[in-house]
């Protein structure tokens, strides 16, 4: 199956031409976003919390302190909705009404479950660490049994998902095209700056190549 | 009142030292974030949707197509939760367990209401347009009566809010400080690129100064 199923809940209704349901599009946005927003219902009320995520095939992994409200909720198997959003540009149209932003987003639905085995938790933590910085897992000090216990990991198999994308120039009405107003796109992107060494770090530990390359790839 | 009230729902429980409830901190994060994530409950299930926002004092403004599920819901006065998140850096600790990200986020709660008067909708649209690009409202073609009708605007007075921030170097255990692992922060920030003119734009319309300055301020 290369597409997520469509239903009323995840179908892109406004601007259906911006919707995508193929797994490649959905996975790519999830993997590019560093954080996601998790929505859940408690006592009938909505909550939304930003958090780091990782992906394993069609399953989203979340982690957090065992005491966290969000983790307890996700592990309990109640329904959640997650959003992953990337802002790519400001769309400056000739008319106020046609102003927009270029973006890539995914909204998905599912039910979480606790990941409890030590081996599976370790694999998940490797994914989280490598998401923050590829190459880091092999170098950083591995989790102790106590640290592993203090960390909850939840897995959310994706039940339904849709991507929504807007790219390209403004779409003004034909009647507006000759207005004397500059129209176009201001691209936005996230860049990495010069790494700042921990002041507590003794001299003599050079910046690793994988961090240097990460920064160079994002300038 | 310079602080939002604290309650179980919005109190920062994990890492309480990262929590802030003063209005200045909350407003600044809301205003810096270009988009927010809106969570709501429909048929008992959570939904989360990314969208542009604007702020007027302690009220959040949202807009969208009159037909949108999210706008209909927010306008109906049911409870919503909104999150605003900025990612500032990757925190590379000596231990896997202490890896983190630097961020600024706000989570708030409230109930929406429809903004229906033409004058109030126009003021809201000015705020949205100026959020995308300061200076744009005065130049772009103003909304027609039909366009105004096709746009829904909702106002959400902030009932409760909290900011959560993590800044600065990694916080490794003392026992890990002498490990031979580079530790520090890779700063991340959003930058603006060279504006791309709409291919449909005739020659002879120069890039306005306010756009040039916006881009120069964000390089």
CA B194 to chain centre: 23
CB contact under 8 A, B50 and A85: yes
CA B179 to chain centre: 38
Q: What residues contact residue B101 under an 8 Å CB cut-off, 6+ apart?
A: A34, A35, A52, A132, B87, B88, B89, B90, B91, B166
Mean pLDDT of A2-23: 85
Token code pair at residue B120: 């109030």
Q: Which of A2-6, B109-113, B116-120, B141-145 has the lowest mean pLDDT?
A: A2-6
Q: What residues contact residue B216 under an 8 Å CB cut-off, 6+ apart?
A: none
Mean residue pLDDT across chain B: 95
Mutate to test the interface with A, among B41, B71, B96 (most CBs of A within 10 A): B96
Residue B203's pLDDT is what?
87
State residue B120 phi and psi, 5-degree precision: -70, -35
DSSP H or E stretch at residue B212: helix B209-216
Residue B192's pLDDT is what?
98
Q: Which fold has domain B16-172+180-187?
A: Pnp Oxidase; Chain A (2.30.110)
**Superfamily name with CATH number, domain A16-187:** Electron Transport, Fmn-binding Protein; Chain A (2.30.110.10)
Instruction: Give per-residue pLDDT as tens, A68-107.
Output: 889 999 999 999 999 999 999 999 999 999 999 999 999 9
Q: Using an 8 Å Cβ cutoff, are A82 and A36 in contact?
A: yes
Q: If contacts are CB pairs under 8 Å, which of residues 132-151 in chain B contact chain A?
A: 132-133, 136-137, 139-144, 147, 150-151
Residue B50's pLDDT is what?
97
Q: Give CA separation, A203 vs B20, B114, B184, in Å.
A: 35, 59, 13
Instruction: Give per-residue pLDDT as tens, B157-191.
Output: 999 999 999 999 999 999 999 999 999 999 999 99
- Give the model's confidence band at B15: pLDDT under 50 very low, under 70 low, under 90 confident, else very high: confident
Residue A4's pLDDT is what?
86
- Mapped onto helix, strand or coil, the DSSP state of residue B39 is strand
Any chain A CB within 8 A of the CB of B171?
Answer: no
Mutate to test the interface with B, among A201, A208, A219 (most CBs of B within 10 A): A201
Give residue limits of the domains in chain A: 16-187
B-chain residue closest to A66, CA distance: B14
Give the bridge partners for A151, in sequence order. A65
- Give the model's confidence band at A144: pLDDT under 50 very low, under 70 low, under 90 confident, else very high: very high
Model's pTM, two decimal places?
0.95
Q: Give CA separation, B109 vs A215, B18, B57, in Å.
A: 37, 19, 15
Q: Please tell me the number of Cα atoms within 13 Å of B5 on its side-chain side.
A: 8
State residue A107 phi and psi, 5-degree precision: -120, 130
Reported ipTM: 0.95
Any chain B CB within 8 A of the CB of A214?
Answer: yes
Considering CB atoms only, which of A35, A48, A91 is closest to B87?
Answer: A35
Judged against a pLDDT cut of 80, whether residue A1 lies above it is answered with: no
């Amino acid at each position: 199956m290369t597409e997520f199923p469509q239903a009323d809940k995840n179908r892109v209704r406004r601007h259906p031409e911006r919707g995508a349901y193929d797994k490649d599009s959905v996975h790519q946005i999830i993997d590019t976003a560093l954080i996601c927003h998790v929505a859940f219902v408690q006592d009938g009320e909505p909550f939304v919390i930003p958090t780091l995520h990782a992906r394993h095939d069609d399953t989203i992994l979340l982690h957090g302190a065992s005491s966290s409200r969000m983790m307890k909720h996700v592990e309990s198997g109640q329904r959640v909705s997650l959003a992953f959003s990337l802002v790519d540009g400001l769309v400056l149209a000739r008319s106020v009404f046609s102003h927009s932003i270029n973006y890539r987003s995914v909204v998905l639905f599912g039910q979480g479950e606790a990941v409890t085995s030590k081996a599976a938790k370790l694999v998940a933590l490797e994914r989280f660490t490598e998401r923050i910085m590829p190459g880091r897992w092999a170098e950083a000090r591995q989790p102790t049994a106590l640290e592993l216990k203090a960390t909850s990991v939840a897995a959310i198999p994706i039940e339904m998902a849709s991507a929504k994308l807007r790219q390209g120039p403004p779409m003004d009405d034909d009647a507006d095209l000759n207005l004397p107003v500059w129209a176009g796109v201001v691209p936005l992107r996230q860049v990495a700056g010069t790494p700042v060494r921990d002041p507590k770090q003794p001299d003599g530990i050079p910046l690793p190549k994988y961090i240097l390359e990460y920064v160079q790839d994002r300038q």
